[in-house]
Structure 1
Amino acid sequence: MTLLLALLLDAAAGEPRWLWSRLPHPAVLMGRAVGWADTRFNREGTGRIRDGVLCMTGLGAGAIALGSALSALPGEVVDVLVLAILLAQRSLVDHVRAVARALRHSLPAGRTAVAMIVGRETAGMSEPAVARAAIESAAENLSDGVIAPAFWFALAGLPGLLLYKITNTADSMIGYRTPRHARFGWAAARFDDLLNWIPARLTALMIWALAPSRRSVKAIRAEAPLHRSPNAGWPEAAMAQHLGVALSGPRRYDGQLRDYPFVNASGRHRIGPADIEAACQTLWRTWGLAVFAALLIALF
């Protein structure tokens, strides 16, 4: 019942600005903890793989300890509130849908909006590139921000949830293969890959289940490995098949063009705001499947 209530609360309330403008969001606090560890143990980018492993071990142990302490409090209110806060369904849909609204207004507005949710360069993006970026972010963050937290809470309660969130936060901050984090961030990136292995494939399965076909499941299995991430390719391939669009493809980071292959290359390339809206509808329909699963868990 806790998971069901948290999913519904997050969908209804999202991330109220009046609250998080006054208090630091737990994700912000996790980011500060990771930033402190990076500064303390990776001085001038000289941290070794061993240092990163020890750092992640300490952060993970702290997350598990905090989750255990919170779980020991009487009643389910704390569990519901913590899980609802750390789910991101409503905020994800709001941010993705904002790109569609902005893109309908103008291409520069669309570029500005999509820059809020992706890390690639957006200044020279075409309308289809903006739409692709928004849809890719929707698919990947559906897995990272909704299905994975719900999965780890269902499996291991608040300790599992907080362990996942601190790992995912660490990966987003120090898991990139930059010179500073090439060795120190290795543990964060690999542990995040491990924790997301099942949720990413579960997310793809849920998207596929909205319109199942033998052809699409074969295509998802064939195209997911085209993605540079061992996990993100699964929800993106499923979303691409579900919407009939081509995702991924070339993009720019730090002034350099990365010639990534398209996922579902035979899908439509000329896409726009309507396709972003369709992706948002898919987010809600997948969320509906998660709610149904949570209801079954509560009943049985």
Structure 2
Amino acid sequence: MNTAALLVCALLLDAALGEPEWLWNRLPHPAVLMGRLIARLDARFNHGTARKAKGIASVLLLIGTGVLIATLLEALGPVMEILTVAILLAHRSLVQHVRMVADGLRNSLQEGRLMVARIVSRDTAAMDPTQIARSAIESGAENLSDGVIAPAFWFLIAGLPGLVVYKLINTADSMIGYRTPRHAEFGWAAARLDDLLNLIPARLTAVLIALPALCFDAGGIRADAGLHRSPNAGWPEAAMSRALGIALSGPRAYDGEMRDFAWVNPEGRRVLTPMDINASIAMLWRAWAAFLTLCVLIVFV
């Protein structure tokens, strides 16, 4: 089987089964193991002088470890490869978490806040229904890019080593890639490499969201993406905001501090409901189907 065929099988397997709780209640998820490795590197090397150099060395260690583990898994045959890819993509799990926010918000404001706190890092205790819905939609769009399309893209480009290395770097960016006194230098390499690895996938994700929604405003999406604080996350958010006709991003609080981020699609509707979350979930599945179709075409071409 070629790489595209393996990816088609993995996408379908994940869509059918998702994340089996009975398994991950007994074994640590690979993402958890990645997080533990990065946390150990952070604790071991992120102190003293030459933190940027230590951060670069840590990233190189992550790349070497990822290539080694992935090569060993590849040697176990296509079934193991398909299972590994399905576990590391987890589109169904993403959709389920976003849907839980919509369901929770329908039940009560407090439950909506509780559910959205599971998928975003911003302050949620004082969120109103619109802020909860907006956060869930943004998280779904961003995670479609860096949690599904980007790892799948790198699997197509470089096989299982490409996917595993991407996941390690993306996890490292989410843990240490911050401009804080502790991580500004040590996490620099992880953050910059993550930006590079997501450059094409983020824009591909925007296309996959926009085209099935018959949203052909490429200029508007490009302009909105430029308003976002991230060089990559703005693309799927901009496509989702244009496809749904809503405004995303905007002011929000982190650690008790309000940050005045620009609006993405500022002319879009700003009062959001659980129905908008459900509409975004439909968009996520349409984008997934478009990507699956692309992979099938690659198999035959």
Q: 2:59 aligns with which of 43, 56, 59?
A: 56
- SS of the residue corresponding to residue 183 of structure 2 reads coil
Whole-Å separation in 2 of the counterparts to 1:18 and 1:246 = 39
Residues 41 and 47 in structure 1, CA contact (< 8 A), matched pair in contact too: no
What residue identity is the alignment partner of 2:24? W
Whole-Å separation in 1 of the counterparts to 2:241 and 2:61 = 38
What displacement does 1:211 show? 2.9
Structure 1 residues 154-165: aligned runs within 5 Å: 154-165=156-167
Q: 1:19 aligns with which of 20, 23, 32?
A: 23
TM-score, length basis structure 2: 0.96
What displacement does 1:88 show? 1.8
Whole-Å separation in 2 of the counterparts to 1:47 and 1:226 = 34
What residue identity is the alignment partner of 1:50? A
What residue identity is the alignment partner of 2:205? T
What residue identity is the alignment partner of 1:119? S
Q: Deviations for 1:11-51, whole angstroms, at most 9, x for unmatched residues?
A: 1111110000000111111111101100111137x661111
Report the identity percentage.
60
- SS of the residue corresponding to residue 23 of structure 1 reads coil
Whole-Å separation in 2 of the counterparts to 1:198 and 1:212 = 21
Counterpart of 1:81?
Answer: 83
Distance change >3 Å, CA 9–CA 47, structure 1 → 2: farther
- SS of the residue corresponding to residue 43 of structure 1 reads coil
Indicate whether 1:91 and 2:89 are aligned: no
Whole-Å separation in 2 of the counterparts to 1:113 and 1:269 = 21
Counterpart of 2:209?
Answer: 207
What displacement does 1:212 show? 3.5
Residues 142 and 236 in structure 2, CA contact (< 8 A), matched pair in contact too: yes
Structure 1 residues 173-252: aligned runs within 5 Å: 173-214=175-216, 216-252=217-253
What residue identity is the alignment partner of 2:127? M
What residue identity is the alignment partner of 1:20? W
- SS of the residue corresponding to residue 184 of structure 1 reads coil
Counterpart of 1:41?
Answer: 45
Structure 1 residues 111-130: aligned runs within 5 Å: 111-130=113-132
Gaps of 5+ in 1: none
Distance change >3 Å, CA 213–CA 172, structure 1 → 2: closer
Whole-Å separation in 1 of the counterparts to 2:184 and 2:287 = 35
What displacement does 1:176 show? 1.4
Gaps of 5+ in 2: none
The alignment of Structure 1 onto Structure 2 pairs a total of residues equal to 297
What residue identity is the alignment partner of 2:27? L
Residues 215 and 242 in structure 2, CA contact (< 8 A), matched pair in contact too: no
Residues 213 and 283 in structure 2, CA contact (< 8 A), matched pair in contact too: no
Counterpart of 2:13?
Answer: 9
TM-score, length basis structure 1: 0.97
Residues 45 and 51 in structure 2, CA contact (< 8 A), matched pair in contact too: no
Whole-Å separation in 2 of the counterparts to 1:285 and 1:33 = 35
* RMSD, matched Cα: 1.1
Q: Deviations for 1:79-134, whole angstroms, at most 9, x for unmatched residues?
A: 10000000020000000000000111111111111000000001111111111000
What residue identity is the alignment partner of 1:142? L
What displacement does 1:213 show? 4.5
Whole-Å separation in 1 of the counterparts to 2:215 and 2:234 = 19
What residue identity is the alignment partner of 1:262? W
